[in-house]
Amino acid sequence: MEVDAYAFQAEWHDPQADLVRPYTMNFFQPKGGAGPLELQIWDDKAKRTFLKRAPLSDLRMEDLFIGSTLTVHARQLKLTAYANEGTKALLEGAVECFGLVTSPDAFPDFGGILSTIEGAGLAVTRLRLVAEGGLVVAMQVSGPGGGAAWEVASMKLRPGSCKKVPSCEVTPYFEDARRYPTTAVFSSCTVCLIRPHILKDGRAGEIVSSIMKAGFEVSAAKVVHLTRLEAAEFLDVYKGVIPHYPSVLDAMTSTPCLALELRKDADVVPSFRELCGPHDVDIARHLRPGTLRARFGEDGARNAVHCTDLEEDGELESRYIFELIG
């Protein structure tokens, strides 16, 4: 089978040795999209193959850009540079990355704007809600023919509701916490994590719209790629309680998820838990077909959303996501 090949320099932080280890990641795309992307990893320091060539079903071409973090067998590797000029020439023109910033008055249509981006075949790789004359959603998006795809998609939106900017202009929204502190309030709140499979499927906007239509206020939002340690700490209460706990960790750390802090007038934790529905997707579909897990869930590990279960944990979970981790 004929393939197109791409190579990136990458690095992995070894938590045990506290070292950054360099690798070369080689990707192979069957021509015509006849199958999944394949990956082979070379250990630059040891001068040997680290991972033999094998297909990765969750990997997409829009994931391949400098700065992207990929999870491979529970290790998160960051793409730091093109490994050769051929890859640079092929991908710099094919996969475009750029920024999008919403206007403050467009925030009520946050979900609709997100759906428009996803409907254009673009992946939201970074997102953060900030205060700048009102609530503003800053995003970094990428995709094949990204700029042209966005120009067509943006015509569906109200003029001026979302502007395109170079990636360098949107970066401070994500990295300058002093200038753009979190909008999380850490009180009378609950946390929603829209799971990675939803972002992969391009349906996060639908869930955000459903949440806001149900009367919940989105007080903070960001795309976060949890490490396995972070996910294990965050979900520790479920260890030994749900039978598919290891699979949940795998699913939650495979690619980024979208984290939301939500508020409502009263009883926000049980109210949002009701909207999410039972953990078990089959039970949700049978007993609560209108809930988020019934509508968007796939199985026990990919049940669309995590929600705070205990009322006293709302602030704790929000602080963990929006204050303690990057």
What is the b/e burial string over 35-49, where b = at least 16 CB atoms within 10 angstroms of the residue's CB? Answer: ebbbbbbbebeeeee
The token pair at 229 is 């340690």
Distance of CA 93 to the CA centre of its chain: 24
Pick from 3, 145, 6: nearest CA to 70: 6
Pick from 246, 224, 227: nearest CA to 301: 246
The token pair at 292 is 């988020």
Q: Which residues are catalytic?
A: 306
User: For the chain, how big is the Rg over CA atoms in Å?
Assistant: 20
CA distance 96 to 263: 35
Residue 43: its H or E element: strand 38-43
DSSP 158: P
**Which residues on neighbouring strands pair with residue 62, listed in sequence order?**
none
Residue 191: its H or E element: strand 189-194
The CA-to-CA distance between both ends of the chain, in Å, stands at: 41
The token pair at 46 is 């040891």
Pick from 271, 280, 274, 325: nearest CA to 304: 280
| Cβ proximity of 51 and 41 under 8 Å | yes
Instruction: Provide φ and ψ at 226, rounded to 5°.
Output: -70, 135
